[in-house]
């Protein structure tokens, strides 16, 4: 039997679905409060329960819509939610050989609230940003489309992940900046400066990652990826993640410098290329300092819980610096910051040439 035949039989007989339901009744509550002398689970006897609650859930979405199912909810953490009748929940339903095997409540149903928050953000962006805000929305939609429908499928299909990421990042950069600024010396300078800085960041992440033996195999969920999508070039995933994580800050830096230099040029149309470069470089120095700080803090924020854990367990510096996750975050932060640092002089150099050349052409 071929792999395709086995997969088809598995899909016919087994079915996993996450659907939305509404709790209609509490069937049984088998939870308890941990003992205060239980160091493994006890945190606060008045706020944490453990055990299982059985709910009757009316399904309102998915292939089981309209059915009433008995769903279990396992409580074993302070992060658990205390559901009540009427709450909307995300339900995991697994069918085995055509029959419902397990029904579990996984999370509160958050989709509508999160979508509402996204819509609110886009509305404020359009209202305050005006025409440019609308173009920013289009740019954001295009970026998400490229990541979700180009980068991820191509990566799963087994294409070179680093090369594909850089090509798609280039497409995103060109489209986003062109939407905001058109095809002008400013936009061309920002695009070229951004791509040069990003290229150096990519090379740095790849080389240093190889030297310290950090790659995509050190990232979370890799075992599942290998099992479900064995064509993926796992070794390049880490460098790809650095590219995606840093491109926003690098693009912001290049565009900010190019825009400021255009304003300087408009205020003093007779400024020389040398003086414009000097002004732009001074602007770039200010921007690169704050943007690098922003990028480093963003990466630290993503690993804050691990940093707290290591501090409370008196982790030694050697153990801290050699941790896989910490090593990856350090490389990400430095690579992204290096991209910003190198974007500044290249954007300044290109913009000073193009903006003054444009002035000579008009004359």
Mean pLDDT, the chain, rounded, equals 86
Tens of pLDDT, residues 268-291: 988 899 999 999 999 988 888 777
Tens digits of residue pLDDT in 112-136: 899 999 999 999 999 998 888 898 8
Closest by CA position to 344, among listed 272, 290, 269: 290
CA distance 197 to 39: 50
- Mean pLDDT, to the nearest integer, of 32-49? 59
For residue 169, give every residue at least 6 positions away whose Cβ sits within 8 Å of its Cβ, in sequence order, or none. Answer: 198, 243, 244, 247
Q: What is the pLDDT of residue 361?
A: 45
Structural domains of the chain in order of their starting residue, each with its CATH number: 3-109 (2.40.50), 128-362 (1.20.1640)
Buried-exposed string 155-186: b where 16+ CB fall within 10 A, e elsewhere: beeebebbebbbbbbbebbbbbbbbbbeebbb
What is residue 200's predicted lDDT score, i.e. its pLDDT? 93
């Amino acid at each position: 039997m071929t792999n395709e035949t086995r997969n088809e039989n598995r899909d016919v007989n087994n079915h996993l679905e996450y659907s939305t339901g509404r709790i209609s009744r509490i069937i049984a509550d088998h939870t308890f409060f941990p003992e205060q002398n239980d160091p493994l689970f006890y945190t606060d006897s008045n706020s944490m329960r453990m055990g299982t609650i059985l709910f009757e859930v009316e399904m309102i979405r998915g292939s089981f819509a309209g059915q009433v199912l008995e769903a279990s909810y396992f409580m074993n953490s302070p992060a658990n939610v205390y559901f009540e009748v009427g709450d909307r929940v995300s339900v995991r339903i697994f069918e085995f050989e055509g029959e419902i095997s397990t029904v579990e409540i996984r999370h509160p149903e958050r989709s509508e609230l999160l979508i509402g928050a996204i819509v609110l953000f886009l509305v404020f962006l359009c209202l305050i940003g005006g025409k440019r805000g609308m173009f920013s929305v289009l740019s954001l939609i295009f970026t998400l489309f490229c990541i979700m429908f180009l980068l991820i499928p191509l990566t799963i299909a087994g294409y070179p992940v680093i090369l594909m990421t850089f090509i798609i990042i280039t497409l995103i950069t060109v489209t986003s900046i062109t939407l905001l600024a058109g095809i002008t010396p400013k936009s061309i300078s920002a695009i070229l400066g951004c791509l040069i800085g990003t290229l150096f960041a990519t090379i740095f992440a790849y080389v240093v990652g190889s030297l310290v033996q950090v790659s995509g195999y050190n990232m979370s969920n890799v075992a599942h990826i290998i099992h479900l999508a064995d064509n993926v070039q796992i070794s390049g995933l880490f460098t790809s993640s650095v590219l995606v994580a840093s491109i926003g800050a690098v693009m912001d830096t290049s565009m900010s410098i190019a825009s400021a230099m255009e304003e300087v040029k408009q205020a003093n149309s007779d400024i020389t290329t040398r003086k414009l470069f000097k002004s732009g470089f001074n602007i770039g120095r200010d921007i690169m300092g704050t943007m690098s700080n922003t990028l480093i803090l963003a990466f630290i924020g993503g690993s804050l819980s691990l940093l707290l854990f290591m501090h409370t367990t008196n982790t030694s510096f050697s153990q801290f610096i050699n941790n896989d996750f910490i090593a990856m975050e350090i490389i990400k932060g430095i690579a992204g910051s290096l991209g910003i640092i190198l974007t500044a002089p290249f954007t300044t150099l290109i913009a000073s040439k193009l903006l003054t050349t444009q002035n000579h052409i008009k004359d």
